[in-house]
Every structure is written in C-alpha cells, then in structure tokens.
Amino acid sequence: MASFIEMLNDRWRGNKTALCIGLDPEWEKVRSITGFQEPGEGLFKFCRAIVKETHTLVCAYKPNLAFFACHGPAGIEALHRLTEFIHLEYTGIPVILDAKLGDIGNTSKCYAEMAFGYFKADAVTLSPYLGGDALQPFLDYQDKGCIILCRTSNPGVAETQSAIDFVDGCVPREYTPYYKYIAHLVANKWNKNGNCGVVVGATAPDELKEVRQIVREMPILIPGIGAQGGDLVKTVAAGRAETSDGMIINISRAVVFAKPVGDEKYYQAAERAAREYCQAINDCLTQS
C-alpha cells in the first residue's frame, strides 16, 4: 500500500488538486438538512454522500474526531465506517484524522494504535507541546503522515504560538516566535522518516510564508479558507512549495454545509462548492 506522502503526490500531480475537505458534521445541522434522527447512522450517511459527490476533486479528506466521538460508541463507529468506506471505494485518497493528539510515550503509543490501527487513518494531526518523545510513537509509522500543529488559524494563537520571549540560549533567535521553532524542529529533527507535515492557518499568510521557507517541500495543511475568512490568493502564493504544490488546503463548512441553489440537494451543493474551490486553487497556482 502506498504511503501517505505517495498518495498525496499522486493526488496533487495526477488529479491536479490541493483541496482537502474537512468532514466536520455538526449534528444539529445534519439533522435539519437530512431528517436523520439517529446520529451514528446519520453522520455516516451524510458524510458518505459528501464523499461520493466530491471524491474526484480532493487530495484528501479530513474528518474531525470530535464531531463523531461526542456521540459515543455510535459516533466512533460512524467514523470507523467512513474511513473504511473511503479506503474501499476510493483507493488512493488519503484520510487525515484531525485529532490533535500528543501525550507521554505509552499514552501516545495507544493513541497511535487508535489512529492508524482502529481508524486506519493515513495521517493524523498532532500537538508538539510535549516534545519529540510524545510524537515518536506516531513518527515510527513510517508510511503514515504526522501533521504537526505549527501556526493555527484561531485568534488565540497570540497567547502561545506567537510568543517571542524564551529563556536565553534555549532557542536560536532566528527560530522565534514559537511557531518558527516548531517548524524548525519538524523539518530538522522529527522528519527523519520523511513522513511529517505541519499545520499553518490561511489567516496568517505572512507566517505561512515564513514556515514554508523553513520546512521547504514538506506538506502544509492549511485551514482557515472559507468560513474563517482566509485569503486564497495570498495563501497559495505564500504556501506553495517550489517543486510541487505542497499544500493541503482544507475547506470544511463552506463545502459540507454549502447552501443549495435552485433545485440542488445538499450533496449537490457540496459538489458545486468543492468544484469551485478546486478551480479557484488551481487558478491561483497558475497565476502565482
């Protein structure tokens, strides 16, 4: 079976797409749109319909664990069924489990087994706060992607990721603020198996450009376009790699809950929105 990086390269170059659809199925919206009454079955069928309509347009899917796990065993099983469905029906499309995991070694080992064993995700998002030993159980899966939080798209990043002051001598000055130091660690210490990527939000194109210069050709997962208001033109110009696209541009609500036009069904609206974003990204790549 192909590795996560190989799958990404195939989708980038073969399918000409850097679009990732984030599957964040807010249950109350799903229920109002579809009429489903039971979360487990409803979440699976809703996401399955989105995938069926958009699979030719994406480089990856990114289901968020929280939107499934909050419904208990039924939600967990829905996510398991969804990843299984994508792998069986659309071989070659990677699934990124958005869980932001990271804990002490033996706990991380169990989390890695959950992500890559039970859910069979091709990649997982990870928190670097506990350091490299907490990430190591994930990094050891050489064919799986480890996408590490670097500079996220939420407003609160100024409290932590943009911090500049460190203990003297702890961090080289050229790698501050903190998000630049994380990018440095990922690129120069943690990526020994060539299976790492980073998360940088589209809401910070200047910081995205800085991170790209540090991580070079490494994949960057970029949330923040669409509902969060990131600028697509600036994002592509700042985030693309020199020799390949290098970007996993995530759109969630703006696709999954796209408003139908005319006689469209919800999944048709999602396909139209995904197609428009895919084309817009490719247009930006051509122009930049």
The residues annotated as belonging to the active site are 100
DSSP 109-132: HHHHIIIIIIS--SEEEE--TT-H
| Residues present in the chain in total | 288
CA distances from 36 to 30, 46, 53 (A): 7, 9, 19
User: How wide is the angle at C-alpha 112 spanned by C-alphas 109 and 115, nearest 5°?
Assistant: 155
How far apart (Å, rounded) are the C-alpha atoms in residues 266 and 106?
Answer: 43
The residue type found at 31 is R
How far apart (Å, rounded) are the C-alpha atoms in residues 129 and 253?
Answer: 28
Largest CA distance in the chain: 63
- Could you give the 3-state DSSP secondary structure of residue 148? strand
- Tokens read off for 193: 């198996």
- Tokens read off for 135: 């990430």
